[in-house]
Amino acid sequence: MFKIFDLTLQINGFPMKEAKSELQKIIAIPEEEYGQFIEQKKLEIVNFHLKNNSSYQKLVDKSSFNNWNDLPIMTKKNFQKPLIERLSNGFSLNNVYINKTSGSSGDPFIFAKDKFSHALTWANIINRFGWHGIDFNTSYQARFYGIPLDFIGNRKERFKDFLSHRYRFPIFNLSDKILERFLNDFKTKKIDYINGYTSSIVLFAKFLQQKNIVLKAICPTLTVCVVTSEMLFDEDKILLEKQFGIPIVNEYGASELDLIAFQNPKGEWQVNSETLFVEILDENNTVLPYGKEGRVVITSLYNKAHPFIRYDIGDIGILDEKSTLKKPILKKLIGRTNDVAILPSGKKSPGLTFYYVTKSIIEDDGNVKEFVIKQTKIDTFDIEYVSRIELNLEQIQKIEAAIALYLEKGLVFTFIRKEKLERSKSGKLKQFVSLIKEIA
């Protein structure tokens, strides 16, 4: 069979055959030898960058290292300089894969991967999706993503969609009228799987719920839905399973790194241990044992063009107690570290706390479609929401009572009803935003 997706990557200079072969060798390493493999790859990538990357040399301030835990933690601030100054010897802007992070965490930057490293990323993605019967060369994808709106950028993305065997549902306008069009497309196209931003797919599921439609019933070819880029809450997963009539798979990744974790057929959120080394650290940069909550810090084991070594991605997570070096399991992803509300009492609360409190009450009757919470002052929050009818006083009082119970008393909330919510340029919906700087 003619594999146009693989061929497209190969034509663009990504050695897919070699990458797939390397990935299979890694997967075949027995559990008892996996620790030795990880240690070898860690040693190789650090020594490579200490020898070949002046930017990393300056950060470490040593030509060699003895203890992994003594290596500095990299953050997005280390990348706030021209890419050319961050590339390793032997790499230029012409012989690497270059992209830009989405900026959903507020700190976008341009990064690079060497061609083999990026090919390995794709080999891993192809392998993970294959767990659920998806073949990028033949399976037809419904893609809930943003798209460039300029003519050339739009055409390029549409052409990539054609080569990648996917049909795009642009998510910048998700009115009922547009969602009705989406529904008609599912009625007429033989779509195999759904992939895209969580918030947009959840909104489509709520639309189906209002119409009492199960998507699988009108599109029998559908087999699975993969959500990515935004938090998937338990209630939303239940809603998606009910309204789509297919399994829901949770993906966690970062464009500058790789696929980080992907739900396996057993329902476990399996961490990518083939090309990444994932650590959970406390605030003193001490490695935490499995089961403990801390900062997600990741090392890219193969990217020689650009160092990502002990890189704090800005998320909080927990690795399951049953994790092993070969098969780490992500027990919970709690959210971005910068999505934290500083309250008048000095208490710090993850933005998700507000989301859980308001979500459970607001969505009882399905009136509210989406909402975001913005902290504008230390004691003041705006709740912007989209709904069929405005929230009434009783609903607002319930929310305020729940916030006082879960957070603290005396907080001021303003409820602002909108036609649609502001999304990032890529189409993501950031559900909690703090507009104040942390108080020392």
DSSP assignments along 200-235, one per residue: HHHHHHHHHHHHT--HHHH-TT--EEEEESS---HH
Cα–Cα distances in Å, from 248 out to 73, 187, 267, 314, 355?
A: 34, 20, 9, 25, 21
Q: What is the pLDDT of residue 366?
A: 62
Reference 125, options 226, 201, 202; nearest CA is 226
Neighbouring-strand partners of residue 277: 299
Reference 328, options 295, 302, 291; nearest CA is 291
Q: What is the pLDDT of residue 434?
A: 85
CA 329 to chain centroid:
16
CATH architecture of 4-336: 3-Layer(aba) Sandwich (3.40)
Reference 23, options 220, 301, 389; nearest CA is 301
Quote the percentage of the chain above a pLDDT of 70: 91
State whether residue 342 is helix, strand or coil: strand
> Mean pLDDT throughout 279-304?
96
Confidence of residue 1 (pLDDT cuts 50, 70, 90): very low
Q: What is the pLDDT of residue 78?
A: 86
Q: What is the pLDDT of residues 69-124, one digit of tens each?
A: 999 999 888 887 889 999 999 999 999 999 877 545 545 678 999 999 999 999 99
Q: How far apart are CA 264 and CA 164, in angstroms?
A: 23
Q: How far apart are CA 191 and CA 166, in angstroms?
A: 9
* Domain range list for the chain: 4-336, 340-434
* Strand ranges in 188-323 using DSSP code E only, listed in sequence order: 193-197, 224-228, 248-254, 258-263, 269-271, 276-281, 293-300, 311-319
Reference 182, options 147, 191, 160, 227; nearest CA is 191
* HEC letters along 380-398: EEEEEEEECCCCCHHHHHH
Q: Are 142 and 169 in contact (CB under 8 A)?
A: yes
What is the edge-to-edge ordering of all strands in the sheet holding 293-300? 276-281, 293-300, 311-319, 330-336
- pTM of the shown model: 0.83
Q: Which residues contact 25 (CB under 8 A, 6 or more apart)?
A: none
Q: What is the pLDDT of residues 23-51, one digit of tens each?
A: 999 999 999 999 999 999 999 999 999 99
> Mean pLDDT throughout 114-135?
96
Higher pLDDT, 6 or 59: 59
> Mean pLDDT throughout 243-271?
95
Q: How many CB atoms lie within 10 A of CB 209?
A: 14
Q: How many residues does the chain have?
A: 440
4-336 and 340-434, same CATH topology: no
Q: How far apart are CA 87 and CA 55, in angstroms?
A: 8
Higher pLDDT, 337 or 104: 337
CATH topology of domain 340-434: GMP Synthetase; Chain A, domain 3 (3.30.300)
